[in-house]
């Protein structure tokens, strides 16, 4: 486990700092609360008896891993890294936290361009955490509830990344260092426009931008926002994987999706359209 990442963590029971011990297979706080590292490499930092909201299933995680590994969202990862690392008046980050980071592939792309940084993927899905534990040698994976108090120390991270995941404004502001940034990737109204109707996918809420603002303010204030747009040419298998890795998977049956895909040409042109916003702590 990267020492820089471990130093940013806190005990989910008493909020004291955590440290590695016993061959780095264990995290322990001064009060004696301890948390074992699973054989797959991730650590669960859930308070005793706490059950987080249902995370991505094993099938959803497998689809996400396959789709991202194929490079289809490489442009999104690159745009995320540009936003996280390219601000001239912000210090280079040493610690990054990817909230709801899933398999860790977006964080890995950012770490590849930040050789002095370490990262933490925090997700409620143990299936995602198992894969995230192997995403990058300078990253570690933690199972936790992103809606509750984060198992992260106050003012401990330089960047918080949120890619298509829920935002916890008060907790993000708490864990950000002064001068740090929250970088949020959200779908724009024309995201996946060519397949939303034909496949019966969930549409982007027209009020999404306002809901994002409401979830972050007054704890965080906007710095800027930029758009990333590209068009992918995907075969039916890739489209099925794209649908299966997101929330659409919970609303469609395999047979229904296959039937709808059969009525589309192959390959299918699919627009990837996201907005990338940067935020800082309110003064």
State the DSSP code for 139. E
Count Cα atoms within 13 angstroms, Cβ side, for 233.
2
Task: State pTM to two decimals.
Answer: 0.93
Residue 109: is its pLDDT beyond 80? yes
CA atoms within 13 A on the CB side of 247: 9
CA 162 to chain centre: 5
Q: How many CB atoms lie within 10 A of CB 229?
A: 14
Is 29 in a helix, a strand, or coil? coil
**Percent of the chain, pLDDT > 70?**
96
Pairing of strands 26-28, 19-21: antiparallel
DSSP 9: B
Share of the chain above pLDDT 90, in %: 76
Q: What is the pLDDT of residues 158-183, one digit of tens each?
A: 999 999 998 899 999 999 999 999 99
pLDDT in tens, 244-255: 998 887 788 889
Q: What does the pLDDT read at residue 254?
A: 87
Answer yes or no: are the C-beta atoms of 199 and 261 closer than 8 Å: yes
Q: What does the block give as tokens for 174?
A: 């708490």
């Amino acid at each position: 486990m990267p020492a820089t990442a471990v130093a940013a963590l806190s005990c989910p029971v008493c909020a004291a700092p955590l440290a590695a011990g016993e061959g780095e297979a264990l995290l322990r706080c001064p009060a004696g609360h301890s948390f074992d590292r699973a054989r797959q490499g991730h650590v669960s930092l859930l308070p005793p008896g706490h059950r987080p909201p249902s995370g991505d299933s094993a099938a959803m995680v497998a689809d996400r891993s396959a789709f991202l590994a194929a490079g289809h969202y490489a442009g999104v990862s690159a745009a995320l890294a540009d936003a996280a690392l390219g601000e001239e008046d912000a210090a280079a980050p040493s610690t990054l936290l990817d909230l709801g980071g899933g398999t860790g592939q977006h964080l890995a792309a950012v770490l590849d361009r930040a050789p002095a940084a370490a990262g933490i993927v925090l997700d409620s899905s143990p299936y995602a955490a198992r894969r995230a534990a192997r995403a990058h040698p300078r990253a570690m994976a933690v199972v936790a509830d992103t809606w509750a108090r984060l198992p992260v120390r106050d003012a401990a991270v330089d960047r918080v990344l949120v890619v298509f995941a829920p935002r916890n404004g008060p907790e993000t502001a708490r864990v950000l260092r002064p001068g740090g940034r929250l970088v949020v990737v959200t779908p724009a109204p024309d995201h996946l426009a060519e397949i939303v109707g034909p496949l019966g996918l969930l549409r982007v809420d027209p009020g999404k931008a306002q809901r994002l603002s409401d979830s972050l303010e007054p704890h965080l204030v906007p710095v800027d926002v930029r758009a990333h747009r590209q068009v992918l040419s995907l075969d039916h298998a890739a489209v099925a994987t794209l649908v299966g890795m997101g929330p659409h998977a919970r609303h469609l049956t395999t047979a229904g999706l296959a039937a709808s895909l059969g009525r589309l040409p192959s390959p299918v042109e699919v627009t990837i359209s996201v907005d990338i916003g940067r935020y800082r702590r309110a003064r």
